[in-house]
């Protein structure tokens, strides 16, 4: 950041907010994406649970991102899919494929859950 610091009038360049670890970064359709960005977007939807899974595939010569999210059966899954896809597109710049699934569908783990599965060259 090159502008003057508001707290101490420091005029020297400063480092801006770090968005995520570089080893967590995924490159999809030419866009750098961090799992934390997706998590923050999903957190804005109170009708979704905290469980999600991101799957990255290489289909027909193109990378695609599928996001699986859990919601209760009281929600309109199609409408929720559309809203989540639009939110991701507005924040990140491309439209993922979103699947809304029933609560309990995604795998659980007592330790750290594997949320990103890169299936491009596996």
CATH code of residue 50: 3.30.300.30
Please choose, from the candidates 117, 47, 120, 53, the residue with its C-alpha nearest in 3D space to the C-alpha of residue 83: 47
Tell me if 95 is assigned to some domain: yes
Amino acid 40: pLDDT: 92
Over residues 88-116, mean pLDDT: 85
Read off the pLDDT band of 98 (50, 70, 90).
very high
Q: Is the pLDDT of residue 22 over 60?
A: no
Tell me if 88 is assigned to some domain: yes
The chain-wide mean pLDDT, for the chain, equals 84
Query: What secondary structure does DSSP assign to 58-121, as a single string?
Result: EETTEEEEEEEEEE-TTS-HHHHHHHHHHHHHHHHSSPPEEEEEETT-S---SS----EEE-S-
Tell me if 101 is assigned to some domain: yes
Total number of domains in the chain: 1
Tell me if 45 is assigned to some domain: yes
Tell me if 4 is assigned to some domain: no
Q: Domain residues for 72?
A: 26-118
Contact between residue 29 and residue 59 where contact means Cβ atoms under 8 Å apart? no
Tell me if 81 is assigned to some domain: yes
Q: Is the pLDDT of residue 80 over 90?
A: yes
Over residues 12-29, mean pLDDT: 70
Give CA–CA dist 16/13, Å, rounded. 9
């Amino acid at each position: 950041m090159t502008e003057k610091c508001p707290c101490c009038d420091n005029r020297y360049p400063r480092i801006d907010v770090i968005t995520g670890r570089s080893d967590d970064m995924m490159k999809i359709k030419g866009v750098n994406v961090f799992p934390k960005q997706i998590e923050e977007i999903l957190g804005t939807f109170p009708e979704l649970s905290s469980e999600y899974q991101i799957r990255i595939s290489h289909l027909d010569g193109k990378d695609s991102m599928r996001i699986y999210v859990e919601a209760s059966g009281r929600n309109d899954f199609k409408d929720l899919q559309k809203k989540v896809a639009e939110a991701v597109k507005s924040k990140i710049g491309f439209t993922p494929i979103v699947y809304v699934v029933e609560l309990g569908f995604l795998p659980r783990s007592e330790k750290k859950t594997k949320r990103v599965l890169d299936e491009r060259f596996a």
